Amino acid sequence: LSTFVESGFNEIKRSMENADADVYLWNYEELQDNKNYDSSITIEIPYGIAYSEENYSTMAVPYRGSGLYEKSLALPEGMDTTYLDKPEIICDYVKNGRCGAGITYKEYAELYSLKFIEKGKITFHVYINKNSTKFNELKDAFNSIAGKTK
């Protein structure tokens, strides 16, 4: 498998045009069809507010450039806000008392044993390179994660 790294919109589009990676996960709006990639799989991930204090007044939020940021723009209104670039760092900030709450994915809140209020689900689009030697294995694995069967 080739390695893929979370990156910006233009970098991912350019990389997909060159068929650089076996798999891309994308949580923005769906990308235009790309002849090199199968885009039939989507995975719904719960997101919301992870918190340690009941009456929190500070909130860590994902920085602009993530689908999670776009989904949760209104959540921190009226709070002191800290912008961070990775959802998993947000829970670390909450757990260690740097912020009272944070916007993140449910799985991260559970990893840090934080309380969690679900605010919705975000869709991850899975793009698998049709020319990958691992195409069938990847498709089966992501279908399994998505809860789908053949």
For CATH 3.40.190.10, list the domain ranges present in the chain: 45-121
| Fold of the domain built from segment(s) 45-121 | D-Maltodextrin-Binding Protein; domain 2 (3.40.190)
Residues in contact with 66: Cβ distance below 8 Å, sequence separation at least 6, in sequence order: 27, 87
Are 100 and 61 spatial neighbours (Cβ–Cβ below 8 Å)? no
* Ramachandran area for residue 45 (φ above 0: left; ψ -120 to 50: alpha; else beta): beta
Q: What is the pLDDT along the chain (150 residues), one digit of tens a residue?
A: 555 555 666 777 777 778 788 888 877 766 666 788 888 888 898 999 999 988 899 999 987 667 788 778 788 788 888 888 777 789 999 999 999 999 999 999 999 999 999 999 988 888 898 988 899 999 999 998 888 544
- pLDDT digit string (tens) for 95-121? 999 999 999 999 999 999 999 999 999
pLDDT at 149: 40
Whole-model pTM above 0.85? no
- pLDDT digit string (tens) for 132-143? 889 999 999 999
